[in-house]
Amino acid sequence: MRICDVVVIGAGPAGENVAARTAAAGLSTVIVAAEPAGGEGSSRPCESGEALPRPVLPHAEARGRPGIDPGPPDVAALLRHRGRRSGRRQGLERAGVTLIRGHGRLSGPRIVEVTSADGARLRLAARHAVAVCTGTRAALPALPGLAGLRPWTSREAAGATRVPPRLAIVGGGGVAVELATAWQALGSQVTLVVKEPGLLPRMERFAADLVTDALRASGVELRFGTTLAAATRATDVRLVLSGGEVLHADELLLATGRAPRTDDLGLETVGLRPGGWLPSDDTYTVPGVTGDWLYAVGDVNQRALLTHQGTYQARIAGTVIADRARDHPLDRSPWSRHTGTADHVAVPQVLFADPVVASVGLTAAEAARLGREVDIVDHDHAHDHAHDHAHAHDHDLVAGAQRHGPGRRCHARILLDPACGTLLGATFAGRGVAGLLQSATFAIIGEIPLNRLRHAVPACPALSEVWLRLLETHRDTAVPVRGGP
């Protein structure tokens, strides 16, 4: 048996960051992973799902500007470029972390058994902590003959080397929308099959509507309120929808959610149920395990299935493990270095569609569901000549939005706490809006009141002028809209 201070199971972004933090604190750390370092990432990984849409969007933006004709995209170059990784293992070794390849599973308190590809076994004993950072995998529907269909998930879509002439995508969330945007731009005829009545049910409705309109305009076919009843693959994929419609596609992409990788982790050996999400508290410690030695970090705990939130959790968990190892008392006050509250208060995310959607904090629908009274402030900073003449004065426009060309719709919404005047949520939809997100995140995390935000002067001409327009709209609204979408 090999003894060390910390064992991390999983070498995705969360696992890497836990291991790097504990090793930096002087704890001997071993990371166990069956796959190469870097992992598959999250449900919307920075280096797979986003790797397709992000290069496509600048080309689409250039195509929309007057006097610019960028020509067709170089599809082969785009497919070669995305998803490149390098130096992950070397980076772990430089950080002082030992990487062991193999499948790791618990075999008792603080004990991890590693089985390598050739069947050899190694037992590791952790003095202080075991961190489960195994992430998620695609959750596939219970469809007869699924294996014979050879469907794509986000992983296969990110690794594809050719553009299918016809691509059917089942799902209406962020992964489905991003990949539909990308593959349609690359030359596929994309059909989205969506169980819900609309796309992006967790986002503000106005943002989902803008994305829906843009997908339709680009040629994507949308089938709402329907499911996949049956499918077979011969020369192509034949899909039968719940309403009886038959579709044909060259490839089928299933973007129907995520499931935790916990079914073969030996959780039953420490009194936990395998196969489900592994809950954690705000220190990312798993409740119900005596001794506070087991941690669940990243997607596996279902707190926020985003790569950047996993690395945020990892930094906190690594700090907690190190301080507990030194017998330092933990500060459990909000926003301390020992508590992870941002993953349920201010989760920033960017949808790489056209238009881009950037959001953080509450949406109007979430506020209503929680019974939170909010002031909802909207501003449409469109550069659409017909829209401008009908609905806006020159002083209402955002100069920075004009560089994106005519006919581009841009909309922003903020949610405010009417009692103390602080920001609770923000959503921006339009080209270039991702750069607005961090300022909104700072405002929410810092609980900055409006009377201070009014003194944050935006540069002109820049898209950040939307903040000024939002605050002016709030000031000029005689009767605030509260509590509804």
pLDDT(385) > 50 = no
426-470 pLDDT per residue, tens: 999 998 899 999 999 999 999 999 999 999 999 988 899 999 999
pLDDT at 42: 41
Cβ-in-10-Å burial (0-12, 13-18, 19+) of 420 comes to: exposed
- Which pLDDT tens digit goes with each residue over 161-205? 899 999 999 999 999 999 999 999 999 999 999 999 999 999 999
Confidence of residue 390 (pLDDT cuts 50, 70, 90): very low
Q: What pLDDT shows up at residue 76?
A: 77
**At 392, is the pLDDT very low, low, confident or very high (cuts 50, 70, 90)?**
very low
395 exposure class (CB count in 10 Å sphere: 0-12, 13-18, 19+) = exposed
Predicted local confidence at residue 95, as pLDDT: 86
Residue 81: pLDDT band with limits 50, 70, 90: low
Mean pLDDT value of segment 394-421? 72
Distance separating alpha carbons of residues 69 and 26, to the nearest angstrom: 56
8 A C-beta contact, residue 283 and residue 316: yes
All structural domains of the chain? 2-46+85-138+259-343 (3.50.50.60), 146-256 (3.50.50.60), 355-478 (3.30.390.30)
Q: Identify the CA nearest to 103 among candidates 125, 129, 122.
A: 122
CA atoms of 223 and 239, how far apart (whole Å): 13
Distance CA 394, CA 385 (A): 11
On average, the pLDDT of the chain sits at 88
Residue 386: the pLDDT is 42
Lowest mean pLDDT among 50-59, 266-275, 324-333, 338-347: 50-59
- Residue bearing the bigger pLDDT, 407 or 93: 93
Q: Is the pLDDT of residue 422 over 80?
A: yes
The confidence score (pLDDT) of residue 44 equals 44
pLDDT at 475 over 90: no
**pLDDT at 43 exceeding the cut of 60:** no
Contacts of 440-446 with CB under 8 Å at 24 or more apart are 440/348, 440/360, 440/361, 440/414, 441/346, 441/348, 441/360, 444/345, 444/346, 444/360, 444/361, 445/335, 445/342, 445/345, 445/346
With a pLDDT cut of 70, the percent of the chain lying above it is 83
Type of residue found at 461: P
- pLDDT attached to residue 334: 87
- Quick one: CA dihedral 50, 55, 56, 60, positive or negative? positive
User: Which residue carries 């967790």 as its tokens?
Assistant: 202
Whether residue 19 contacts residue 29, with contact meaning beta carbons closer than 8 Å, is answered with yes
Q: What is the mean pLDDT of residues 271-275?
A: 96
Dist. CA 150–CA 156, nearest whole Å:
10
